[in-house]
Amino acid sequence: MKLSIPQAEFQHALSRIQAIVEKRSSMPILANVLLDAISDSGEQTLRLSATDLEVGIRSSHEATVINPGSLTVSAKKLFEIVRELPNDVIHLEATSNSYLEIRCARSRFTLAGTVAEEYPTLPEAAPGKTVPIPASVLSQMIERTMYATSTDETRYNLNGVYLELLPKSGKIRMVATDGHRLAYIDRVINDEAGAIHNSVIIPRKALAELKRLVDEDDADELELCFDGNSGLVKKGGVILVMRLIEGEFPNYRQVLPKETTHRIVLPAEELANSVRRVALLSSERSRAIRLDLSPGSMIASSNNPDLGEAQEELDITYEGEPFSIGFNARYLLDALSVVKAKEIELGLHDELSPVQIRPTDDTDTLAVVMPMRL
């Protein structure tokens, strides 16, 4: 293997895979990146692959390939080296005993590697029909739902975001819940949404990688494809493959609140700031805050026997009977922080029913948070 590639391109490619390579794996080779130098009928590319067996990224980059070949080396060390090199051409060459020689300007490194044959194959997705989706739409959908996934490994079916097609409207929906809160968002993507015929659960780590990919500067439109228990996302020369969560997503529709007695419209940021301030004195374990509603006013408060008390009053348009409801402040803040709207509507029923949080200018998204017993 012998090739050369511009430093900037190589650094960018290596930084993309850093979150995927396993730091502490039972398979040490998963800490490596697989380099494939390919010279195919005039087209010369360097292909990078990294995987933790659940998620994998493969990217192709234009390069000058002198000798085709493959090698794997520590992804972290290679990145650290390339990051420090000047913006010039980097020459890579596999030397004897699986060493990788890296030369750039007047620097020269040799990095111990492992033969490519030992590297596991990435989860492959069969070439099914792909659905194009704008990066900005996908980014927003992930942002609005991913925070509500469960990190409790015993509830693996909640460890990801559920993606389904809404046949009537032709929109796609992403839903996530951890059993205490839920968030969903519906978006129109295009006429080909119908190609997503199976509902799937995308695991959190894959979503995080996907989010990084859609938020890259040059991201415009991506191709999505699901097949069996694997998924594939294409962005130009970058392919993200993932293993999907096998399991049944709970029947979330039955927990979407049907009754809403009170609707309160509030400036989103003002509410978030109040909750954040009051939460400073809530118990560290429960993060419980209390909302007391009465005509014209909402008082947010917290108290912690070890610390003290906090209270803040907000003017609201509320006409009903006074009532009090408790919440985990973090759940409220998580929901408020991703809404990114000027105004939100809080839908409340009683002190044991969930609150609904929704931007006033977007009815296709909803966050639901269960209260705490006071």
Partner 1 sequence: MTQIILHADMDAFFAAVEQRDRPELRGRPVVVGGLSDRGVVSTASYEARVFGVGSAMPMLEARTRCPDAVFLPGNMKRYVEVSRTIFSIFERFSPLVEGISLDEAFLDLSGTQRLLGAPAQVGQKLRKSVYEETGLAISVGIAPVKMVAKIASDEAKPDGLLEVQAHEVRDFLGALPVGRLWGVGPVGRQRLERAGYRKICQLAQAEEETLRRALGEWGEWGVGLASLARGEDERGVEHSRVASSYGEENTFAQDVCDLEPLERAIRRHAEAVARRLRKDEKLGRVVVLKLKLGRRRSRGPRGYPQHTRQCILPSYSDDGSTLAQAAQALLREFGCGEPIRLIGVTVRDLVTRGEAEQGQLGLFEAFADTPESEKGKAVARRSQLNTAVDELTSRFGKGAVSWAGEALLEPAGLHDRAKSGDTET
* Token reading at 141: 């959908």
230: helix, strand or coil: strand
Smallest gap from Cβ 155 to partner 1, in A, equals 7
Q: Where are the alpha helices (DSSP H) in 69-194?
A: 75-84, 135-146
Smallest gap from Cβ 327 to partner 1, in A, equals 9
- Residue in 28, 86, 179, 267 binding partner 1, rule: CB under 8 A: 179
With binding defined as CB under 8 A, does residue 250 bind partner 1?
Answer: yes
- Residue in 24, 106, 168, 285 binding partner 1, rule: CB under 8 A: 285
Going by C-alpha positions, the residue among 206, 231, 257, 230 that lies closest to residue 369 is: 257
Region 287-346 residues binding partner 1, contact defined as CB under 8 A: 288, 326, 328
Q: Where are the alpha helices (DSSP H) in 243-301?
A: 268-279
CB 206 within 8 A of CB 24: no
What are the residues facing 133 on neighbouring strands?
222
Q: How many residues bind partner 1 (CB under 8 A)?
A: 25
Smallest gap from Cβ 180 to partner 1, in A, equals 5
CA–CA distance, 241 with 234 (Å, rounded to integer): 9
- Residue in 255, 281, 299, 341 binding partner 1, rule: CB under 8 A: 255
Pick between residue 179 and residue 308 the one whose CB is nearest to partner 1. Answer: 179
CA–CA distance, 74 with 17 (Å, rounded to integer): 12
- Residue in 104, 185, 332, 372 binding partner 1, rule: CB under 8 A: 372
Smallest gap from Cβ 299 to partner 1, in A, equals 19
Region 103-162 residues binding partner 1, contact defined as CB under 8 A: 152, 154-155
220 phi and psi angles, rounded to 5 deg: -130, -70
- Residue in 16, 47, 61, 181 binding partner 1, rule: CB under 8 A: 181
Smallest gap from Cβ 254 to partner 1, in A, equals 5
Pick between residue 103 and residue 287 the one whose CB is nearest to partner 1. Answer: 287
Going by C-alpha positions, the residue among 248, 239, 242, 245 that lies closest to residue 230 is: 242
Angstrom CA distances, 328 to 18, 205, 287, 325, stand at: 34, 25, 5, 11
111: helix, strand or coil: strand
Cβ partners under 8 Å of residue 231, min gap 6: 125, 200, 202, 206, 224, 225, 241, 242, 244
With binding defined as CB under 8 A, does residue 281 bind partner 1?
Answer: no
Pick between residue 181 and residue 235 the one whose CB is nearest to partner 1. Answer: 181
- Residue in 70, 177, 302, 365 binding partner 1, rule: CB under 8 A: 177
**Contact map string, positions 202 to 241, toward partner 1, x by CB under 8 A:** ----------------------------------------
Which residues contact partner 1 (rule: CB under 8 A)? Answer: 152, 154-155, 177, 179-182, 250-251, 254-255, 285-286, 288, 326, 328, 352, 354, 368, 370-374
